[in-house]
Chain A
């Protein structure tokens, strides 16, 4: 178990290909994962998450920067010398072997004595709930069990310092996904192992990790607990990326006490204006769909919107609302309403934006 740290790590695939113009898959990455913690790397597809994982595991040597495990520089070490286990997007099992031999594979490669292998494999099988299928041909397992086997090969070694999970639930049968996710979390806690979970699914990241790092275009955008990322999104990107649907972002102009949002105005209180130390100028307003109060009755301070789409999500509904403004694009906003509230397309609803839930951004960065 160990602390894993990336220092000034950058990587470009073009360097190896000898191209002049460089595109950075990962750029200036500085981050540390503390011993025994559950972490997540969250970002849209193609943001460099997997490249980061491969750099940590040693499958890829970064163009620049260093990787430290417990303060020791491991940049030049091979994957097995780093003792980092990796679980891949789709379950990697050796399908010519049974479950037992799969789990024993890393130990056999390291020439462990047979009796010790047996004890270790049985212990891991117990943790993962695979005891009953040790003699199964591994090709007969379902996808969740296969993924457990590939996790098992990672934790069967004593010297495993950390485990990297690269979108491990993507190809798992949806019915088993939840259970496997919980089990991954339990294994992480029980073994007190440093885990880094890579995903583009915020739900997975936020439920698994205590610390989530959001990556965009190869750069770190924000690091924090799930709570912080949701409530204190540092940028427009994080605000939009976390939450389903993401935060509504509206461009606006502040003059004196009103925020003009290209189609409607919001009056801001004196306290609020003091807090944002606002000057007249351009801002972005952010508000989460679930914070907007949607009503069918018109009251003071509410703003009329037309319902464009109603999505029934089972326990709540998501409305996509539009408002004609004089510009060429309609103002679009999403709000979440109670499942029992009946609203239909084309209807007009009245929105209220509670001031305490309003976030203000300037040039994509949060200022309040």
Chain B
């Protein structure tokens, strides 16, 4: 090895291969076999993949996942930008606001699930009580819509602060001169936002969108704790679906599903990255 830098990255490479690469290869191996309870394995080629892709349950999970991720991105990114814009730029209130916003980010996923389980418990929960007070009906255990929208609300509550903090940092780094120039050029607040603020937030928004995209695809412990994927399959997202299959010892099938799942996340992230980095580079005349 001529380049000594390799020695420095070697520990990480070894760690990565033990922690990520080898398990992934095992999964690739499993996906080619029909395995039951890990004892007998029969090579079946790509049959598992064909089966997964034709499985209406898998297709349902994919659809649910896409809808969920789409909603997460739309709501969290726009809400994040709005809150960041509304936050004070300087003064006493900056610190309390940022600390309050940061709190949800500090809570572990499973604790979030438990907190929200308490919120939504049909006998003692705050949310059902509020609905009851206004004469409404709310039950995450029985109503699919309630369950799905609660998971969405939970995710928004948990992760919007991340977008807010990213955007807030991005806003702080925009020099005043840009706003002054826009004022002199007679741009109204909407056009100032569109042509000054938004382009300058490109890099933080790229980061925010990619993080939320990949993370929302991995949502697992919250629906597991809150609804267990139900009622029915209303909150069975991709990771939950794969886990269910693995739990029932359909290892070959689960492996094939995880690889497809992995591939979807990869492609989605790539597409998102390409779109964000290309739009609004400017080259066309209005």
Interface residues, chain A, with chain B CB atoms under 8 Å away: 54, 57, 59, 78-80, 84-86, 88-90, 92, 94-98, 100-101, 104-106, 108-110, 134-139, 150, 153-154
Contacts and interface: CB of A to CB of B under 8 A. Distances in A.
17 contacts: A79-B183, A79-B184, A80-B183, A86-B184, A88-B177, A94-B195, A95-B199, A98-B282, A98-B284, A106-B186, A108-B286, A109-B185, A109-B187, A135-B283, A135-B285, A137-B281, A137-B283
Contact of B286 (A89, A101, A134): A101
Contact of A101 (B181, B183, B196, B282): B282
Contacts of B145: none
Contacts, number: 80
Interface in B127-164: none
B187 A98 contact: no
A105 B178 CA distance: 13
B180 interface: yes
Contacts of B195: 94, 96-97, 105
Nearest to B185: A106
Nearest to A99: B282
Nearest to A86: B184
Nearest to A101: B286
Contacts of A98: 282-285
A101 B188 CA distance: 16
Interface string B167-195: 00000000101101101111110010001
B285 A84 contact: no
A341 B64 CA distance: 85
Contacts of A86: 180-181, 184
Given A101-B286, A109-B191, A137-B283, A94 B183 contact: no
A138 B282 contact: yes
Nearest to B184: A79
B177 to A, nearest CB: 4
A150 B191 CA distance: 17
Interface of B: 175, 177-178, 180-181, 183-188, 191, 195-196, 198-199, 280-286
Contacts of B191: 109
A153 B183 CA distance: 12
Contacts of A84: 184
Contacts of B283: 98, 135-137
A172 to B, nearest CB: 15
Task: Select the residue from A94, A101, A135, A150 with max chain B CB neighbours within 10 A.
Answer: A94
Contacts of A153: 181, 185
Nearest to A98: B282
B270 to A, nearest CB: 23
A89 B285 contact: no
A150 B181 contact: yes
Contacts of A109: 185-188, 191
Contacts of A90: 175, 177
Contacts of A101: 282, 285-286
Q: Which 10 A-B pairs have the closest CB atoms?
A: A96-B199, A80-B186, A88-B177, A92-B181, A109-B186, A106-B185, A96-B280, A137-B282, A97-B282, A79-B184
A96 B186 contact: no
Given A59-B184, A86-B181, A101-B282, 6 more contacts: A90-B175, A92-B177, A92-B178, A98-B285, A135-B285, A153-B185
